[in-house]
A = this chain, B = another copy of it.
Amino acid sequence: MTKAISVGDYLIHAIEQAGVKHVFGIPGDYVLGLYDLFAKSSIELVGTCTEIGAGYAADAYARINGLGCVCVTYCVGGLNALNAVAGAYAEKSPLILISGAPGLGERAFSPLLHHRIRDFNTQRLIFEKVTVAAEALEDPLTAPRQIDAAIAACKRQKRPVYIEVPRDMVHRLCGSIRLEPQDAPKSPPDVLKEALRESASMLRNAKRPVILAGVEIHRYGLQSLLVRLVERSGFPVAATLLGKSVIGELHPQYLGIYEGAMGREDVRLAVERADCVLFLGAFMTDIDLGGFTSNIDVSRTINATAEQVTIQRHHFDGIVLRDFIEGLLKSKLGPRRKLRFAPRSKPKPVKLQRGRKITVRRFFARMNDFLKDDSVVIADPGDSLFGAADLTIHRRTEFVSPAYYTSMGFAVPAALGAQIRRPHLRPIVFVGDGAFQMTGQELSTIVRYGLNPIVFVLNNKGYTTERFIQDGPYNDIHEWAYHRWPEVLRQGLGLEAHTEDELEDALIRAEKHTASFVVINAHFDPMDRSNALDRLAKRLRARVQGKGS
């Protein structure tokens, strides 16, 4: 039965049905009509301070919820969210960006409407470059199909889509023709069979096989399958940095994060000395490969991603990642190996030394013990990420970080996006001082929606990651009293720590203060760093100076 419904209502219902409960953004006159419909729907509008904050929040929301949504005004709104959408594209986060636009009627009347850049298509053409679908709803007849197709593409490809709504289309009636739910894509049976036969044979013949799991395991909801494959095969498993926490880090067969020479030596050796490496859902970036310090012989690899299965140097097209893993589960992978691993235990607590200045290494060692079962760790790029990589994550999908696109300023808005979806998880945020200066004002939104993350500002007085590549005065920043943000926001608890006992005291107070956010200004020496950063910077430095490749 076809019931008349407006384009705006159709869009909102489609997003609701796809599982979105919160939409992030800032209103503007070209999108006010749509905002009004959202306000009347079951979806909660979350008003942020900035559009880039809305974008990062919705990206984190998408990683946790399976779909996220930003709604902003034309150009001045949309373009300010673009970098977050680009990051979601790079890291496969299913994000919908909805933008208002001038009405079709008023465009003919006068071309110079405010917020316009070159012509009325400019914003859509830009978003085409960073999305898997960019639709402008300019005809009520086709709008439902455009909306359905865009949302389906977003969910299938786990990459962002763009939907533009001219303001005079919002209330236009369209048929409620919803496309049949698209069939899940299927693997071509013979291709799948051939790839499985070859893979199983390689794994059966391997003496020291290892699985390297990446972020697509999480994006496609394959965590349980992965655990079954790991346990049935008896293979050890490592994860990439972007895929950190796709498998519970206390699992006895879990090795740790593989990131070339940048990571832990025991993990590096286990992976690089394996005689067969099974990559599952890992797209291997320069960061994952430790700035190219990785040394994995391609002739010993099976590499299955959502886009392609590659064995050694030949490719199989069209194979669905889930089918491949399910196929491996049914294959004979050799005699079931005995677990060669002692059950993993939590790292030992760090022993506090009164008056000792805090260092990045001891700080993160201490953090391992600070994490609770209800923690979600959110790490900004830089040493916040490199240091946090060694934390032991208790549950799955509890670690959120832009570990490939590495856009600074992600973490504070991401805490907003994560906790608004999972109010019972308390975000533990690690963010550098430079990154906090970019988007730290979203603590305001965190106050507004009654959330309570604990934010550690790793205050090392500048862009420390870069100091190790090439230093100069441009890596310095003006130092803020980060712990005084609660005075501007009229809520929250601000604390400061120079020494280990001050840190300990701050941790105790932060744990108790659950009514609102806590921001801890943690002072580090500008040249202090994690082991991982130390190794990475050496590699990157060579390349900046034109020596490496």
Contacts and interface: CB of A to CB of B under 8 A. Distances in A.
B485 A488 contact: yes
A125 interface: yes
Contact of A478 (B409, B440, B445, B545): B445
Nearest to A444: B478
Question: What is the count of identical protomers in the complex?
Answer: 2
A472 B35 contact: yes
B546 A27 contact: no
Contacts of A168: 546
Given A76-B83, A117-B86, A122-B130, A480 B474 contact: no
A157 interface: no
Contacts of A527: none
A479 interface: yes
Interface centre among A27, A79, A481, A490 (most CB of B within 10 A): A79
A117 B130 contact: yes
A290 B84 CA distance: 34
Interface string A35-68: 1101100000101011010000000000000000
A351 B537 CA distance: 63
Contacts of A110: 286, 289, 292
Given A130-B117, A445-B478, A466 B406 contact: no
Interface string A426-470: 000000001001101100110110000000000000010110011
Contacts of A82: 79, 82-83, 126
18 contacts: A27-B463, A35-B474, A38-B474, A47-B477, A49-B477, A79-B86, A86-B117, A103-B543, A109-B292, A112-B286, A118-B129, A167-B543, A440-B441, A445-B478, A480-B488, A480-B489, A484-B484, A488-B488
Given A27-B475, A35-B474, A79-B86, 14 more contacts: A27-B466, A32-B544, A33-B544, A35-B470, A76-B405, A90-B115, A110-B289, A112-B283, A114-B404, A126-B126, A126-B130, A168-B546, A441-B441, A481-B488
